[in-house]
Amino acid sequence: MSVKSIERTPSAYYNPLLIKNLLDNPVRQFPDQEIVYGDFKRLTYRELGERIGRLASGLAGLGVKSGDTVAVMDWDSHRYLECFFAVPMMGAVLHTVNIRLSPEQILYTINHAEDDVILVNTEFLPILETIRERIEPVKKLVLLNDTGVTPATTLEIATEYEALLASGDPGHTFPDFSEDTRATTFYTTGTTGLPKGVYFSHRQLVLHTLATRAALAGSGQGRLNQDDVYMPITPMFHVHAWGVPYIATTLGVKQVYPGRYVPEHLLSLIQCEDVTFSHCVPTILQMLLSSPKVEETDLSRWKVIIGGAALPQALARQARSRGVDIFAAYGMSETCPILTFAQLKPHMLDWDEERQLEIRCKTGLPIPMVELRIVDEEMNDMPHDGVSQGEVVVRTPWLTQGYLKDPRNSEQLWRGGYLHTGDIGVIDAEGYLKITDRLKDVIKTGGEWISSLELEDLILKHPAVAEAAVVGVPDPKWGERPMALVVAKPGQDLEAAAIRAWLQDFAERGVISKWGIPDRVLFVDAIPKTSVGKLDKKAMRQQYIQAIQG
Ligand code: AMP
């Protein structure tokens, strides 16, 4: 196709889309706006800007240069927000380490991402101590410490975060560079057991921020505006807390970072800091609403996006009864993450509560710049009739362009030029997507993935096991929990406790997370297989879920 390129005046500046462009305005326009870190610290946007400069120049003093990777292991904090900006703005890559992975998986991600420096909260030092000998090469460690007490550790600490900032330059200048520079990376647990790295450029994060901000702007239901107070309740290591800290910063709103998630503390922050906007997985909301403290918390001004798993209507109803403006969103690690929001269209605002609730619990409408299709195996579009199912495939400017150093899985993700989500859904006549099933063989419990294949591998290592399969079964608290089906070798008298103890041993050695251990282990004569001899997970789910639910 022949097109006419724009002409560039020799002196014209072709402004790359960089994360630093998101920061300058709010720091200038809302210098006195507050950022709160739990009960530990309060700072202003002015200080945020200065601390970002100090952090970058401090890191540069430690030897960090463009192209290096800086890892963070922290709870949600103002420090994390500072890293969201300072590290990419230096031209370095921010690796947000998923501290909920097992120590072995964390080790894998640190080595795979080739981290140069690790900023580590005192609480996570024991994890690094167990894997230190196998971290290649040895990294410089910066301590993030809220206790005021120097921790006893055998690790060599280069410096402490506040000391690093004190030595840095608040007026540090950040260079321009290509907008395609990698800004962030983090890992998602896939079907194979080994975490897969996804990555996002400055351009992608800027466009994701602007488009998501546009989708949340305005006066309808489910909005984030300048008078809101924002508090994330999805971890900052997980897809940049869905990118909302970037959006909140561009808006110049008050931000509250809660540290470790403790339901009573979260509720007290909502109450004391007047939090009006959050996002979380269903399990966390369930915990908040079940806490006795909820009785003394006014949630009537609270807007909350639920994602990471489907929003159950019962939970939405419970939240609505407390006046919460609740609605679902959908996306995945690979998609930066936002693809859809289940906001009500203007004409639906007159509908009765139950009809509205149904919309709030759908998977949502694609936000600006998202092309979302449901397709059959030949990539043909399925009708938008609310019943025809297809795989959700997408294009938008902010999708990971592959998995880090993994061309085979990257091609698989992007086959046919669309990113394959592995989710099955329907689209109704109003354009709302509803996820109905999943192609990928993984289990999501409390917002975290468990690889069924890895669990199967470990169970099969048990000397008395002939065959094993692991499937996810619905759970009212965690969304899903793994269930193992086991065929014992002839003559072996196996019990569920033996399998659980076997897996417990792997959990204690850091191979799997402790929540990977199935609650239920069923002994069966044979495991259902497909016509080509593969484990038939769909059949298993149907058969055994029915059996469990009686
Ligand atoms: P993650 O990469 O951990 O963010 O997980 C993304 C996956 O979580 C998606 O591919 C879906 O399988 C699931 N998911 C996220 N949001 C929703 C939703 N609103 N409804 C149903 N499933 C969801």
Q: Whose C-alpha lies nearest to ligand 1, atom 15?
A: 308
Q: Hey, which of 198, 239, 330, 360 would you mutate to test ligand 1's pocket, going by the most ligand atoms within 8 Å of its Cβ?
A: 330
pLDDT band at 549 (very low <50, low <70, confident <90, very high): low
457: part of which helix (H) or strand (E)?
A: helix 452-460
**Which one is catalytic: 196, 254, 434, 444?**
444
Q: What is the mean pLDDT of the chain?
A: 94
Which of 129, 121, 117, 82 has its CA nearest to residue 99?
Answer: 121
Q: Catalytic site residue 456?
A: no
**Which one is catalytic: 398, 449, 478, 502?**
449
pLDDT given at position 537:
80
> Which CATH number among 3.30.300.30, 3.40.50.2000, 3.90.45.10, 3.40.430.10 corresponds to the domain 443-549?
3.30.300.30
What is the DSSP code (8-state) at residue 127?
Answer: H
pLDDT digits (tens, 9 = 90+) for 302-348: 999 999 989 999 999 999 999 999 999 999 999 999 999 999 999 99
The first and second tokens of residue 475, run together, are: 């759970």
Q: pTM for this structure?
A: 0.91
- The answer to whether residues 52 and 85 touch, using CB atoms and an 8 Å cutoff, is yes
Percent of the chain with pLDDT over 70: 98
Give the three-state DSSP class for 140: strand
- The answer to whether residues 273 and 254 touch, using CB atoms and an 8 Å cutoff, is yes
d(CA 413, CA 409): 6
Length of the chain measured in residues: 550
Which residue ranges make up each domain of the chain? 19-171+178-369, 443-549
438 lines ligand 1 (CB under 6 A): yes
Give the three-state DSSP class for 103: helix
pLDDT digits (tens, 9 = 90+) for 197-218: 999 999 999 999 999 999 999 9
330 lines ligand 1 (CB under 6 A): yes
- The answer to whether residues 518 and 455 touch, using CB atoms and an 8 Å cutoff, is yes
Question: Which of 398-402, 456-460, 471-475 reaches the highest mean pLDDT?
Answer: 398-402
Cα Rg of the chain, angstroms? 24
d(CA 462, CA 502): 7
The first and second tokens of residue 82, run together, are: 């500072």
- The answer to whether residues 45 and 31 touch, using CB atoms and an 8 Å cutoff, is yes
Q: Does the pLDDT value for residue 397 go beyond 90? A: yes
Measure 222 CA to ligand 1 centroid, in angstroms: 19
Give the three-state DSSP class for 40: coil
Q: Whose C-alpha lies nearest to ligand 1, atom 6?
A: 332
432 contacts: CB under 8 Å, gap ≥ 6: 342, 359, 362, 363, 364, 365
527 contacts: CB under 8 Å, gap ≥ 6: 467, 468, 469, 485, 487, 535, 540
Atom of ligand 1 nearest to the CA of 447: 3
Atom of ligand 1 nearest to the CA of 310: 20
Separation in Å, CA 436 to CA 226, 309, 426, 427: 35, 11, 7, 10
Give the three-state DSSP class for 349: helix
Task: Say which CATH superfamily domain 19-171+178-369 falls into.
Answer: ANL, N-terminal domain (3.40.50.12780)
Atom of ligand 1 nearest to the CA of 421: 10
433 lines ligand 1 (CB under 6 A): no
Q: Catalytic site residue 295?
A: no
Q: Catalytic site residue 188?
A: yes
Partners of 395 in the β-ladder: 371
